[in-house]
C-alpha cells in the first residue's frame, strides 16, 4: 500500500515522445524522438534514437526538474 499516492491503475508508466527530424549518428536510423528523462545527473531533455537508444543530444534541466521554487529569482542577500 502506498503511503501518499494510490497505486497506479495503468500497468506501465509512459512519457510522450515527440518525433524529431534527422538520423542517428550511431546506427543511421531516421527514428529520433525527444522526451524528458531522469538520470544520475538529474532531469534532462534528450533526443534519442528509438532503434539503438543512442543519445543524440542532451540538455540538462534546472536542479529541481519541472518545479521551480518561488525564491529562485530573488536576489541573494549578504547573509546568504
Whether 38 maps to a domain, the answer reads yes
Partnered with residue 44 across adjacent β-strands are: 37, 60
Identify the three-state secondary structure at position 58.
strand
Residue 42 above 90 pLDDT?
no
Q: How far is CA 71 from CA 26, 53, 74, in A?
A: 42, 37, 5
Domain range holding 39?
32-63
Rounded mean pLDDT, 2-10: 79
Rounded mean pLDDT, 12-29: 94
In angstroms, the CA 2 to CA 9 distance is 13
Partnered with residue 47 across adjacent β-strands are: 34, 57
Give the single-character DSSP code of 46: E
Whether 12 maps to a domain, the answer reads no
Whether 19 maps to a domain, the answer reads no
Residue 46 above 90 pLDDT?
yes
Whether 75 maps to a domain, the answer reads no
Whether 54 maps to a domain, the answer reads yes
Whether 42 maps to a domain, the answer reads yes
Residue with cell 534514437: 49
Amino acid at each position: 500500500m502506498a503511503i501518499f499516492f494510490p497505486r497506479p491503475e495503468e500497468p506501465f508508466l509512459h512519457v510522450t515522445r515527440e518525433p524529431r527530424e534527422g538520423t542517428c549518428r550511431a546506427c543511421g536510423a531516421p527514428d529520433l524522438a525527444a522526451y524528458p528523462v531522469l538520470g544520475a545527473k538529474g532531469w534532462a531533455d534528450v533526443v534519442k534514437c528509438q532503434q539503438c537508444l543512442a543519445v543524440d543530444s542532451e540538455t540538462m534541466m534546472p536542479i529541481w526538474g519541472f518545479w521551480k521554487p518561488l525564491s529562485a529569482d530573488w536576489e541573494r542577500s549578504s547573509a546568504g
